[in-house]
Amino acid sequence: MKFGIIVFPGSNCDHDAYHVISKHVGQPVDFIWHRDTDLNSFDALIIPGGFSYGDYLRAGALARFSPVMESVKKFAATGRFVLGICNGFQILCEAGLLPGALIRNRDLHFICEHVCVRVETSDTPFTNEMVQKSVLRIPIAHAEGNYVCDDSVLEELQRDDRIVFRYCDPEGSVTEATNPNGSRDSIAGICNSSRNVLGLMPHPERACEDLLGSSDGRDIFRSLAATLAAVA
């Protein structure tokens, strides 16, 4: 089982993700520079947060044209696992691996705070070690996290159980007041139709040790590791 973390110019959560995989998940992990195209030795990829290409044009828009992204598309098409966090989620949407787009937060602010998200489905490789409807306390840090999509995409996401996380209160209630950024249907994370690609705005890699205020994010990485162990 080997994890790869893709590094674009401007990625800044790559080392956090590396730390979590090596220390808390205890699995081999390597950085992948965005110009590399050989992903054969990896079983799962993490596209980390940050400001790839300085968020020029649109967040994630230019990273999509990095050489590695064609390989990421092929990697995902073979059913292997891709986890996009924050800017990684934006990149996956721009690249067409996930539907919809992430636009400027409703209230314009860059929001950096712990929020609660509800696990909407445990039927993904990233959440199968978690209890459905359980609440995770995980930080967000973004200015463009407002998820938008058209009505037909939203219906599809709802019907196919592809909304993986929704913003909620500590008790797990989802209301407009618990929606930090205006995301449609309070969406914090979604998966693709094959369920092997997940994008989410919250940063689970920043919530893996009690010292940092929460260790709720660990279960996402542990679910993925358990999936990989079962596949191997």
Partner 1 sequence: MKAKVYVSLKPGVLDPQGKAIQHSVELLGFTGIADVRQGKYFEIALQDSADKEQARESVARMAREVLSNPIIEDYRVEIEG
The residue (of 172 and 182) whose beta carbon lies closer to partner 1 is 182
Q: Tokens 């993986």 label which residue?
A: 164
Contact 208, 15 (CB under 8 A): no
Q: Any alpha helices (H) in 95-167, and if so which ranges?
A: 151-159
Binding piece for partner 1, criterion CB under 8 A, among 16-24, 99-107, 163-171, 194-202 = 99-107
Q: Is 205 a catalytic residue?
A: yes
Query: Contact with partner 1 (CB under 8 A): which of 14, 16, 55, 94?
Result: 94
Cα–Cα distances (Å) from 181 to 58, 60, 133, 139, in that order, read 17, 18, 21, 13
Contact 220, 122 (CB under 8 A): no
Query: Contact with partner 1 (CB under 8 A): which of 100, 125, 189, 199?
Result: 100
> Residue 95's CB: how many other CB atoms inside 10 A?
21
Residues in the chain: 232
Query: Contact with partner 1 (CB under 8 A): which of 107, 123, 155, 161?
Result: 107
Candidates 13, 34, 203, 208; catalytic one: 203
Candidates 86, 93, 149, 191; catalytic one: 86
> Which among 55, 65, 8, 61 has a CA at the least distance from the CA of 31?
8
The residue (of 90 and 223) whose beta carbon lies closer to partner 1 is 90
Decide if residue 61 touches partner 1 (CB under 8 A). Answer: yes
Q: How far is the CB of 35 from partner 1 (least distance, A)?
A: 19
> Annotated active-site positions, please?
86, 203, 205
Residues in contact with partner 1 by the rule CB under 8 A: 57-58, 61, 65, 93-94, 99-101, 103-108, 146, 148-150, 182
